[in-house]
Structure 1
Amino acid sequence: IPDDFGMRLDFDIPPQEREFLQKRKVLVGQALQKLLGLSSPLEPKKVPVIAVVGSGGGTRAMTGLFGGLKGLQQVGALDAVTYITGVSGSTWAMSTLYQDANWSKQDINSVISVIEGRITKSFMSSLSKEKRRYYDHEMEERTKEGHLMSYVHKWGLIIEHLLFEKVKNGLPSKTTTTLSDQGRAVSDGQNPFPIYTAVNMMDKISGCEPEAEWCEFTPYEIGIEKYGAFVRTEDFGSHFFLGHMIKKLPEVSIPYLIGIWSSAFSVSLNQLWQVATGSTPAPEEVTVDSQQANEAEPSTMDTYLVNQCTDATGFERFLKNRPVVAQVYNFMRGLLLHWDYNEYCNFKAWNNTHPDAYPNRLTPNDPILNLVDAGHAINIGCVPILRPQREVDLIISLSYSWEPANILKKTANYCKDHDIPFPNVDYAIMDAAHEKEVYVFEDGEDPNAPIVLHFPMVNDTYRQFKAPGVPRKGEKEMKAGEVDVKTNKSPYKTKNLTYSKEDFRALVDLTSYNVINNKQHILNILRRAVEKKAAKMTQ
């Protein structure tokens, strides 16, 4: 690779992340010593890698993740976490937290209180005349810089108004922080390493099933692991050809990336047709919990997949179009990254109904990337931390999706397709009438499969207890325990971008309670992860 090459072509993690891991393992070892009552800190090589994964679900996912992280902080487990990943709404919480370079060392309640004051204002405030003028101006400025702008990026500016807005001289003050700025928050290993997600959709090839190529965003680099191709975060969106930077564009601020990460509305015409007609999903269709489709049903939208056609038709291609999608200049353009791709499990070249079966139609041949909310693939952020190079031993799943079993099924299927170790999940337990506050999944036969500690969005013992072991008393306290997270009347439907203060605080309290109430489960699994890591080191 020439010295002036502008990319990193490698399936391994970058050197900056390796350096972070060395620093973080020291801190995690100390945290586990304190938490588990060990006689001494763990050796860095024996420290298990623990990842928290957040789900999609708009404001519900953001609020729930705040509550879940608050609970982990209170039981002392947050300092033992190495990675945090997010999809869609959970990226809103992450983006807010990582504004502070030492957020995990401070009381998360302070951030929650700030967000409470912002997310409880009227959504219509984001559509005022002044706001619309501000959005148009910002979009125009980014277009002048050379970036490709769409309604997806305007959506990110609306989220900016709801989450980050600051007023200066009576006018909105824009958020100027960038993703690369978040490098300050991991420079000394002081916080878990953040990974944001989107997917590049390959769904316009006639006669082929769609393919969602996972794109990960970190403070150091952005790339698609499938191809082993990454660029520096500050260079994302610039013009590349054959791996060389042709034209450097300014790095966009966080709100524009949030628009990409949470573009649940980037649906195909097929999906819009299904919603409009109320057609019954076919067996091969998948469900994405990213946007409301039918108010009479749970707050999910079914992603409609076109049945394979025997002949390529223009109408089929038309139905696969996505009217609103984030387009970014493709940093892989012109590269031939498939010469030995049939040797890698990242590709399905053997399947002649898959886009990978057509080397000349792979993403490096495209001038642009079509990036959408990763919830259109799997509505939880497991995929990035399941990369073998990250060697994750324990996944703490904070899932605030309406369909917790479905996202684990999809994750398990993804792992099977890509030869990635993942525990066998007993979905029948999760589909049972009485849902539990936490589930533990472990593969006793494969030592390389991570342990999964899964917290779904349920209201079980919280109805009777306002805190672990503290029963509710009186009508007011009993009413406070009736947090509706399941019915059609729930205030937490994905379509609701703002909440009342009471509803916001109730969801934070519920999700933090569910974690704190299962402290012993967490400690037991942390101890099991330590033992499992030690056993692997002696093999």
Structure 2
Amino acid sequence: MTSCKQTCGEFSFLLRPLSELSCLTGLHKRAAESTKLFIRQNWSPTGISLSKCCEGNSTIPMITNILELNIYDQDILKDDLCTSILFDISNLTLGEKETKVFITDDKTKDELWVEFEVTESPEEPGQYITNGVLVAAPLTALDVKIDKLPLTKVGQDLVLKLRGAYKEDQVISLPKNAEFLQMIRYYINRELETEIGLRTHCLESAKDCDKKVSAHASTTVTPFTTKNEIIVSLPVAEDKAELSLKATDRSEKDLSVRLDFDIPEAEKAFLKKRKVVASSALQKALNLSAAPDPSKVPTVAVVLSGGGTRAMTASLGSLRGLQKLGLLDTVSYITAVSGSTWALSSLYSDPHWSAKGMDEALLPLQKELSKNMYTLFSPSLLQYYKKELEQREKGGHPVTLIDMWGLALEQLIFGKKYAGTLSDQQRTVSEGQNPLPIYTAVNMKEDATGSMVAEWCEFTPFEVGFHKYGAFVPTENYGSEYYLGHLIQKLPETRISYLLGTWSSIFSLNLTQLWSTITGVMPTWTPWIRETVSSIETDQKPSTLDTLRVIPEAVFLSSFMNSRPVISKAFNFMRGFFLSNSYSENSAFTAWKDTHPDAFPNSLTPGDPRLGLVDSGFDINSGFAPVLRSHRHVNIILSLNYSWGADQFRVLKQTQQYCADRHLAFPRIDFNKVASEPEREVYVFEDEDNPEAPIIIHFPLRNVSFKQYKAPGVKRQGEKELKEGDVNVTTSSSPYTTQNLTYAPKDFQRLIDLTSYNIVNNRDTITRVLQRVLHRTAPEVQPTIPTLSASPINPTNQNNPTTPNNQSGPTNPTNPATPASSVWSRVVAGAKSLF
């Protein structure tokens, strides 16, 4: 994070008619200032101030300034948008008048002529902070004292509007016989020109308000270059309103958003402790004569996939297998998507879970998952949901449908109210005793073609943020209100139960079906869900009841949830940040794709008042993204895939494309060759030409040798044991389809045993990769087992394991790349991979 002196410039422009049609032009320059003007046929010069360049460089802007000209067809009923023109003001030359001609219609060749002039501002330079992508302007608290209101308006609510401010509309509520007038506080960028206005408060619908109410008065307020009180008079009819404005600057030291692309200091401290644990574990696992230097220990990450209860159960089984092999302590990170976040949320409720036998953690989950899923909507739980949602709303958080899903998942996993928060999990990693959990969600942005593009957001016990923007906040403050990087209003920390809804929002469809089936009430949000995820495939027809019960509590809660959005909503901690003019040079952005949202800075997330986070499975159904950050230096990734479907490599294809778009190191995989080979329990992919690329050990959801072997080298005997090995993870009749949220105890245990076996049965594959990487990071450590072969091992060995722990099956790690599928074009299409 660096700071820079930022000078201001001003530009004016003259617009000339584009045709004889009745039209108007909307001018919107949001990247550096939220300014909207509407100009009709009688054009006149218009001026807007803008932020310009670091001091000492008068030609290159520091902040992206995009002028958006929206051309409307003027209509009696509604002005229809005809076309939009985006113009980068950095193309202009300081001190010169320039005329630009824009073609507004390719068919009619209509033209819009705009004359620009950029001049130097006389104002003093300001101090701006930047990480190279985001730019934080100085924050000022502006106190507005209402000295006098129009006599005709006393006793009636008014709205005071300060354009571009945090909470720009604030209601003035006064009793009829008020003897005092209130003080209102705004937060603004004091260096930008703004406008203050006063109007009556309309309690009707926004549509009716537009017809009946207009601003009574407004005036332009120049940038606050003085700390003295400013008096503003607003004429209203024959009377006036008098306001006193006083600005107080906030120190840049109070910046509450971490603007950096590196991991936080708390995570670095954790890694230092965790590497000591990993060093000892490697000594035991690899039979080394001495523990390797902790600073040279490979960084290992386990990447879990989504898939509902199947993903949760299989994740637990795989971690159980790693624990049995003594390899769990070699892992520094565990990332989770969707259903696998349920597993981590349960495990990390115990600060010492990995030091205990996994069976201790599995028993209560088996019990909860064996309950009838209809109990999620019992009368008592419906009352509980309503009470909790009302309390959350009173605490200041936006309440959405997904919050109720989170409460339902809380009951599915914990069977009771769970008061834990994500920041509470700091105690689970305080001594490096467990891997660092990383939960994920994505913020969806629409591109120019209507397709959805994801921005990955990661949640750790230390902080929440977007690596793309290099913006992070302390976990306990996620959901609180921020502006220009400063914490404006601290809200109660969100419980993990609500976060579960955000991380697993794709399952709202399943729970809606349950709701209507059990209660007999069609939820008011059903049309939204159908519209949002109408293309999601289901694995089997939902079960129905012979008799429907209409529960009054359900009707009441349905009413409460009416008009609530179907996706999670949280206050945007990046609100108010500007984008650096060089943001597109950062490899995290794909602005080179003309239709990608990254090519339209006015539409990127810092301009949104709230975040709309959804299940990461809408993009890639596995949590690779967080551990591919270069600052985490991950050497080995154990990919545990529990997605449903025949293509068990789809997450790898998508991740390979994700890395290619962002210039991240990732193995080159020939997926055609992989598809032509017999099925295996494990695959190893390595790019020997690029040591920066992590080695991928990929475990697909398969039942290969487990059918004949109950343990490595131990064949099944008798009909009972053979039946226990017949675990169906492929057909629609399987008990593990995503549609099923609960399992019979025997089905739960069989999936645990299968996924645990697949890990244990391939011990040598994992340890060989560990040995290979350790020899690379610590050459002084002599290998005690053979190094990993570059040639594929005969996959038939997996079908006939004759000795315990002698299983391997890597594919050729040096195969040339085959173009992978691109990021899913639609949110609804992304949902298909989970079902």
TM-score by length of 1: 0.88
How far off its partner does 1:37 sit?
1.0
SS of the residue aligned with 1:141?
helix
Q: Which amino acid aligns with 2:418?
A: T
CA–CA distance in structure 1, aligned partners of residues 503 and 780 of structure 2: 36
Q: Does 1:447 align with 2:697?
A: no
Q: Which amino acid aligns with 1:263?
A: S
Equivalent in the alignment of 1:397: 639
- On the 8 A contact 1:399/1:456 being kept in 2, the answer is yes
How far off its partner does 1:436 sit?
0.7
SS of the residue aligned with 1:165?
coil
Q: Does 1:495 align with 2:495?
A: no
Counterparts in 2 of 1:60 and 1:237: CA distance versus 1, 3 Å: same
For residue 293 of structure 1, the aligned residue among 527, 535, 538 is: 538
Equivalent in the alignment of 1:251: 493
Equivalent in the alignment of 2:430: 187
- On the 8 A contact 2:292/2:778 being kept in 1, the answer is no
Q: Which amino acid aligns with 1:187?
A: S
Q: Which amino acid aligns with 1:401?
A: S
How far off its partner does 1:293 sit?
3.3
CA–CA distance in structure 2, aligned partners of residues 448 and 63 of structure 1: 32
- On the 8 A contact 2:401/2:565 being kept in 1, the answer is no
Equivalent in the alignment of 1:154: 404
Mean Cα displacement is larger for which, 517-526 or 222-231?
Answer: 517-526
Q: Which amino acid aligns with 2:652?
A: L
Equivalent in the alignment of 1:307: none
Q: Does 1:67 align with 2:312?
A: no
Equivalent in the alignment of 1:235: 477
Counterparts in 2 of 1:536 and 1:397: CA distance versus 1, 3 Å: farther
SS of the residue aligned with 1:219?
coil
CA–CA distance in structure 1, aligned partners of residues 348 and 436 of structure 2: 10
CA–CA distance in structure 1, aligned partners of residues 733 and 676 of structure 2: 22
Equivalent in the alignment of 2:211: none
Q: Spell out, residue by residue over 1:399-429, the C-alpha distance to the aligned partner (whole angstroms, 9 max, x if none).
A: 1112321110000000111111001123235
CA–CA distance in structure 2, aligned partners of residues 464 and 375 of structure 1: 33
RMSD (CA atoms): 2.1
TM-score by length of 2: 0.57
Which has more radius of gyration? 2
- On the 8 A contact 1:459/1:485 being kept in 2, the answer is yes
Equivalent in the alignment of 2:376: 126
Counterparts in 2 of 1:505 and 1:27: CA distance versus 1, 3 Å: same
Would you tell me which structure has more strand in proportion to its own residues? Answer: 2
Counterparts in 2 of 1:480 and 1:433: CA distance versus 1, 3 Å: farther
CA–CA distance in structure 1, aligned partners of residues 567 and 679 of structure 2: 36
SS of the residue aligned with 1:395?
strand
SS of the residue aligned with 2:440?
strand
SS of the residue aligned with 1:462?
coil
Counterparts in 2 of 1:34 and 1:275: CA distance versus 1, 3 Å: closer
Q: Does 1:262 align with 2:524?
A: no
Q: Does 1:378 align with 2:628?
A: no
Equivalent in the alignment of 1:141: 391
Q: How many residues align?
A: 491
1:324-363 correspondence to structure 2 within 5 Å:
324-363=566-605
Q: Which amino acid aligns with 1:143?
A: E
How far off its partner does 1:44 sit?
2.2
CA–CA distance in structure 2, aligned partners of residues 36 and 387 of structure 1: 28
How far off its partner does 1:269 sit?
8.8
Q: Does 1:530 align with 2:530?
A: no
How far off its partner does 1:207 sit?
3.0
Q: Which amino acid aligns with 1:487?
A: T
Equivalent in the alignment of 2:833: none
How far off its partner does 1:218 sit?
0.3
Counterparts in 2 of 1:501 and 1:294: CA distance versus 1, 3 Å: closer
Equivalent in the alignment of 2:256: 6
Counterparts in 2 of 1:265 and 1:500: CA distance versus 1, 3 Å: closer
Q: Which amino acid aligns with 2:285?
A: L
Would you tell me which structure has more helix in proportion to its own residues? Answer: 1
Equivalent in the alignment of 1:109: 359
How far off its partner does 1:165 sit?
2.1
- On the 8 A contact 2:449/2:595 being kept in 1, the answer is yes
Q: Spell out, residue by residue over 1:371-393, the C-alpha distance to the aligned partner (whole angstroms, 9 max, x if none).
A: 00000010000100000000000
Q: Spell out, residue by residue over 1:5-48, the C-alpha distance to the aligned partner (whole angstroms, 9 max, x if none).
A: 11100000000000011111111111101110112111122110
SS of the residue aligned with 2:360?
helix
CA–CA distance in structure 2, aligned partners of residues 248 and 131 of structure 1: 29
Give aligned-pair identity as a percent: 51
How far off its partner does 1:273 sit?
6.2
CA–CA distance in structure 2, aligned partners of residues 365 and 183 of structure 1: 31
Mean Cα displacement is larger for which, 337-346 or 51-60?
Answer: 337-346
Equivalent in the alignment of 1:414: 658
- On the 8 A contact 1:88/1:373 being kept in 2, the answer is yes
Counterparts in 2 of 1:274 and 1:98: CA distance versus 1, 3 Å: closer
Q: Does 1:364 align with 2:614?
A: no
Equivalent in the alignment of 1:17: 267
CA–CA distance in structure 1, aligned partners of residues 334 and 293 of structure 2: 22
SS of the residue aligned with 1:431?
helix
For residue 326 of structure 2, the aligned residue among 76, 84, 93 is: 76
Q: Which amino acid aligns with 1:25?
A: K
Q: Which amino acid aligns with 1:210?
A: M
Q: Spell out, residue by residue over 1:67-112, the C-alpha distance to the aligned partner (whole angstroms, 9 max, x if none).
A: 0000000011101000000000000000000001111111111101
Q: Which amino acid aligns with 1:177?
A: G
- On the 8 A contact 1:447/1:536 being kept in 2, the answer is no
Q: Does 1:459 align with 2:703?
A: yes
Counterparts in 2 of 1:457 and 1:475: CA distance versus 1, 3 Å: same
Q: Spell out, residue by residue over 1:117-161, the C-alpha distance to the aligned partner (whole angstroms, 9 max, x if none).
A: 111111001110101110111001000001011111111111110
